[in-house]
Chains A and B, each alone.
Chain A
Amino acid sequence: MSRPTDDVVTGVVSPKTGQRWIPVLGIEVHCQLKTETKLFSQAPYRFGAEPNTRITAVCTAQPGTLPVLNEAAVALAVRAALALGANVANWSKFDRKNYFYCDLPKGYQITQFDQPYCTGGGVTLPSGRFVRLTRIHMEEDAGKAIHDRGPDTLVDLNRAGVPLIEIVSEADLCSAQEAFDYLTSLKETLQFAGASDCDMEKGSLRCDVNISVHRPGEKWGTKVELKNLNSFRNVMAATEFEILRQIEAYESGDPARFPVQETRAFDAGSGRTRTMRSKEDAHDYRYFPEPDLPPLYLSPEFLQAQAEALPESAPNRRQRYVESMGLSEYDAGVLTATPALARWFEETARLCGSPKDAANWISNEVLRALSDPEIEARSLEDLPVGPDGVAELITLVLSGRVNVPGGREVLRAMLKTGKRAGALLSELGLEQVNDEAQLEAWCQEALVGKDKVIADVLAGKDKAVGALVGPVMKASKGKANPQVVTEILLRLIRSGAAS
């Protein structure tokens, strides 16, 4: 496995010259691990907490404090690596990356430089192409410097010390679309491994893209690093812009305009990239082994335990939903959009005993409710009803206590109020009417004067009876079982009771 050769890469055609150019892209992803506490301190972390309330003496680098490695973070880092098919080293070490900035309390970041805990592995794109990973290493996040609230710079150290893994890809990607696909697949893998929320809005996933372009068969161009990419859409837009910018620069023929090794920031407003810092401004980070931490040893037993604790991947779940639960590929895809949804679905299916019905009710009703302005909740976690509530409703529908339209109404009420399905059923008076005498009376009424329908049915066109089901349902205020109503209507017509 390697990067595809230039002759098989589609490449980008220059809008000016019609020449084909080959983009070369590599991506570095920083991903926060979903731990209770920080990488080297006991401070709990929560996004959006009041500034400087999630800190200890270690987080603020009080003199004399020392880092102590959080084993839970290592476990998640290992699970992420295993989910990406990477090799986890038994021995690795931590290093100090030295630089001064107000959001970096110690004046150095503890990271892994020349001996990362993980190498290799990769991500399979929807196209089937495999993108190789160079390495993954653990490190601590920095705090946040806020420059836009008054004359002073404000510093919030809540984020300082949050565990990160940095995932570095090989320069295997060939287009903006592939960059997008890579990030989408990577995010799904990390989320389903339980390693990270990968929420770009909350900063739990951040990425930098390295880009160069060259003519087919020629030497690779100068690499430019793109930063400030805060959504996957922005990654695509920035990458597309940068590829064209570089092509145009080369095609100008003016070496002074050729791309230089630099870091460029993306401005989402203008859709352009601009110079952030040049190679000359690059820091000398003076890496050296972190003397406060012993080398990291991950025993075969520890690695085995993490492999066993690794949750099922999204592709495996989709396959299982289709093959052993009888779901459509489409539904399997919808229900594995997030690990939380997949868990929700599986729990509902288990409780009601019918995966197909669980899939239908969740994908048609529950997910729709999340965008319904009348329902407050915007995520599954916020819903006042859990899988047990929905499973109870499905069971009521399957057992004929309420018909499907009634069930929909009950579910909506459940999602609004959090009440149980059984209670709402009687509260809303939606309990299905199965009383034969009552149903027959409504059917008789509906048949009055419908000679054409009766004649059609007697002539063998059973479907004609459908025109009468509606009025019966209306008469029953929606509580009749439409199937039973159909049967009764047909029986009445055939037996000559209708006339």
Chain B
Amino acid sequence: MAHERKDAVGLARAIAAGESSAEAAVSEALERARGLGARLACFLSLEPDGALARARELDRARADGRALGPLAGVPIAIKANMATEGFETNCASRILAGYRAPYTATFVQRLVDAGAVPIGVTNMDEFAMGSSGENSAFGPAMNPWDETRTPGGSSSGAAAAVAAGIVPIALGSDTGGSVRQPAAFCGIQGFKPTYGRVSRYGLIAFASSLDQVSPFARTVRDLELVMELMSGADPMDSSSLPMGPMRRGPDTVRLDGLRIGLPKEYLPDGLDGRVRGAVEAAAETLRSLGAEVVEVSLPHTDAAIPCYYVVATAEASSNLARFDGVRYGLRVDGDGSLAGMMAATREAGFGPEVKRRILLGTYVLSSGYYDAWYGQAMKVRRLLRRDFDRAFESCDLVLGPTSPTPAFTLGEKTADPLTMYLNDILTAPASLAGLPAISVPGGFALENGTRLPLGLQLVGPPLEDGRVLHAARAFESATSFHSERPPLFA
């Protein structure tokens, strides 16, 4: 049976109905991961024994007539910066090569409790720092639509694995766009919740005030289910919001009365015409569903990238201090002194982009520079949030492109970090403002004869995760972009 054609909800139903089994679904996912997955470098490691054992356990539970969770038997993939007990959780970094997490992240546990079966760990930019997956210490993942191109990043392997039909659901993490941009590049759905809606306990921190666990799927209903299961307060994470699970929006796919704001700053002159066209077409589609489209302004958008690279690198410089060779991971003796061991370990263990960001972050927090950099960035961050607050006075959701371009080729932007950083220009603002945002498949661009997916971003006010997903579901129902498959998946 072609499990890879089904979304998670469909697959779980088939298993529950006895039309398939967890074991069949999981072994097929593992098989595809070893084949297609290896070709695209989606996975850093697979956990076949544990996954199959868990699948058989679920099948026995079903045979015994026991109640199954809503994801029972559904294979899922975990990003390499998420703790799953016993899995190699190396953040695609040499400094953590071989490190197996001694505990399981809250959000992973909640999905496992619902019956999901993690099959392995996906490739990513080292410590989630990057927009193309090329900063992985173990080589980049490839885009299933065009293997010469990036699947986006930092959640590169996760996006590629879902787009290639290996798993219906993969967990990514989004700090400045690390799920939305790869979702756009791979033609799938990627949702970043309101900051604090999903526990970060077990997510290896890049930038603590921005990181959010964010799922990929091929259908919006899968995202809604995952969010219902994963979200809600966690006593292990003080930044998780003290509220229950997310509630999904209404079943209807009409959007009557919903006001969609188009920020003029997201559609600048010189924007790729195909991207602009996709946004305009989407506005038309939403209008046809009953929504009203209005123009809004987010005047500080230009300041988002500098602000983001100060805040994120400052936090990263501190968050990555624990990788010192003392307790776990790589240790290089160096000159034999304690300080020498730490320096040598970090020198050998971190890749160039991670080092660049640690240095940047260390600089912006330094005595004498703090006010000019970090202090200033915190002020800009408040302005960005205020931009959205004002925009949401006249609209209910903001619509724009997810990325200024479709997927670029591997190697195209590695020479110039700044060009790479500009990829986050449309996703970083919602991250800095802590807002829920989704990237939905919104069209295709032809590039040298290859069809490349385009993503559209919908951003909602804080805690309106259900509204964002509802609008995405309505858009999905009125379009067919999400059901198109990359040629090698066909």
Contacts and interface: CB of A to CB of B under 8 A. Distances in A.
Interface of A: 57, 60-69, 96, 98, 100-102, 105-108, 153, 155, 284, 286-288, 291-294
B314 interface: yes
B366 A284 contact: yes
Contact of A96 (B204, B235, B318, B362): B318
B315 interface: yes
B238 interface: yes
Contacts of A67: 238
B342 interface: yes
A284 B315 CA distance: 16
Contact of B238 (A60, A286, A294): A294
Nearest to A285: B367
A286 B367 contact: yes
B201 A64 contact: yes
B426 to A, nearest CB: 24
A160 to B, nearest CB: 10
12 contacts: A64-B101, A66-B201, A68-B235, A68-B236, A98-B317, A101-B338, A108-B318, A288-B314, A288-B315, A288-B318, A291-B209, A293-B238
Contacts of A106: 321-322
Contact of A100 (B82, B202, B203, B342): B342
Nearest to B105: A64
Nearest to A94: B238
Residue from A62, A67, A105, A286 having most chain B Cβ neighbours under 10 A: A286
A62 B238 contact: no
A57 B208 contact: no
B362 A286 contact: yes
Contacts of B66: none
A66 B237 contact: yes
Residue from A68, A100, A293 having most chain B Cβ neighbours under 10 A: A100
Contacts of B317: 98, 286
A236 to B, nearest CB: 34
Given A63-B89, A64-B205, A153-B338, A291 B324 contact: no
Residue from A57, A101, A107 having most chain B Cβ neighbours under 10 A: A107
Interface in B75-119: 81-83, 89, 91, 96, 99, 101-103, 105
Contacts of B209: 291
A63 B259 CA distance: 42
Contacts of B408: none
A2 B238 CA distance: 41
Given A66-B200, A286-B365, A288-B365, A61 B238 contact: no
B326 interface: yes
A288 B208 CA distance: 12
A286 B366 contact: yes
A104 B432 CA distance: 30
A61 B328 CA distance: 10
B324 A102 contact: yes
Contact of A66 (B238, B365, B370): B238
B316 to A, nearest CB: 11
Given A63-B83, A107-B318, A291-B207, 6 more contacts: A102-B338, A153-B338, A286-B365, A286-B367, A287-B365, A292-B239
Contact of B91 (A61, A63, A96): A63
A57 B102 contact: yes
Residue from A60, A64, A101, A288 having most chain B Cβ neighbours under 10 A: A64
B395 to A, nearest CB: 29
B201 A102 contact: no
Contact of B339 (A63, A64, A100): A100
Contacts of B96: 63
Interface string B341-381: 01000000000000000000010011100100010000000
Given A64-B202, A98-B365, A292 B102 contact: no
What are the 8 A-B residue pairs with the smallest beta carbon separation, nearest first?
A107-B321, A286-B365, A291-B208, A291-B209, A63-B204, A61-B322, A64-B83, A64-B202
Contacts of A100: 321, 324, 339, 342
Given A61-B327, A64-B82, A64-B201, A98 B318 contact: yes
Nearest to A67: B238
